[in-house]
Structure 1
Amino acid sequence: MTRAGADLALLLLAGFRTFADRGAEALARRGFDDVRPTHDFALRAIAAGADNPSELARRLTVTRQAAAKTIAVLEERRYIDRRPDPSDGRRLRLTITARGDELMRAGDAVFAELRAGWEAQVGSVRIGEAEEALRALVGDGVISVDSPDWSTRDLDS
């Protein structure tokens, strides 16, 4: 019995995990030592319009309780805040703070640097080919940075 399929799945997961872990380490060196990948997913969902707990839960495909926990962590760490909705004063909207914007910009820069490092290691052509192959296999439409599904653990660490 061959394990080629399982080994490929593990290799893809290890690639993601390596990229995410190195990204978290680089962000920590830039002063963002309190974030995890799930926090980035949530911030990007909020930036894309998920401005309340129910919508954030829907976009992250988690329970409303899990979304509320993520919101509490991000708010405590000053990455988001809640502001009155101009059209309905009873409603509070989730908004990204200046610190949250700074984190997202730093994250974009870190991942660009990580990609450049991988390109230096194996060549930009090979990285481009790997990216094209993955895009052909999974399609462009499934890449959604605000829908992590299974990777929403470690919300309070």
Structure 2
Amino acid sequence: MSSDPPGFELPLRLLMGFRVLIDELHAELARQGHPELRPMHGFVMQAVGHGTTAVELGRTLGVSKQAAGKTIETLERAGYVERAVDPADTRRKLVRLTPRGIDALGRSARIFDTLRRRWADELGEDRLRALEADLRKVTPADLFRLDTPGWFGTL
């Protein structure tokens, strides 16, 4: 009998590490004035970037145009994105981040830095750097793989 943990534990531990960080991020974002944001919203706002359409957003996220549109509506009602006519093509509607959306992303970046420092304090900076280096070896170089929501799919 092997003393190695079962193979299924690795992806679950990685997922739980992700979940712990994301849950802590959203708890702090709520304390800082962004209680309505959900994990999916971070992917969406990153994908919106400097402006995109619902079709392009859906393609980037790996979801339907309708799913992207519903999320855009939610974020628009909460003041994180706005729709505007594309100056290059007046038939197209661009989705852009509002100052509130930009603020949320900036706060997220700072909170992630704080969370990383906490992990470094818990594990040791050298061990955390080694973990990050090892994960870089076994994962694709494209750090912002925004199609994760579509990859999870629906039931």
Give the structure-1-normalised TM-score: 0.89
Q: Name the counterpart of 1:121.
A: 122
What is the CA RMSD across the aligned residues, in angstroms?
1.8
Q: Which has the higher contact order (CA 8 A, sep 6+)?
A: 1
Q: Name the counterpart of 1:140.
A: 141
Q: Name the counterpart of 2:28.
A: 26
- Amino acid of the residue matched to residue 9 of structure 2? D
SS of residue paired to 1:5? coil
Number of corresponding residues: 151
SS of residue paired to 1:4? coil
The question of whether the paired residues in 1 share the 8 Å contact of 2:50 and 2:96 is answered with: no
| Structure 2 unmatched runs, 5+ | none
* Counterpart Cα distance in 1 of 2:50 and 2:90: 22
- Amino acid of the residue matched to residue 62 of structure 2? T
Q: Is 2:12 aligned against 1:13?
A: no
| Structure 1 unmatched runs, 5+ | none
Identical aligned residues as a percent: 35
1:6-63 residue CA offsets vs partner (Å, 9 max, x unmatched): 01111011000001001110111101110111101010101065x1111000000011
SS of residue paired to 1:62? coil
1:60-104 residue CA offsets vs partner (Å, 9 max, x unmatched): 001111111110111011100001111222321111100000000
The question of whether the paired residues in 1 share the 8 Å contact of 2:50 and 2:97 is answered with: no
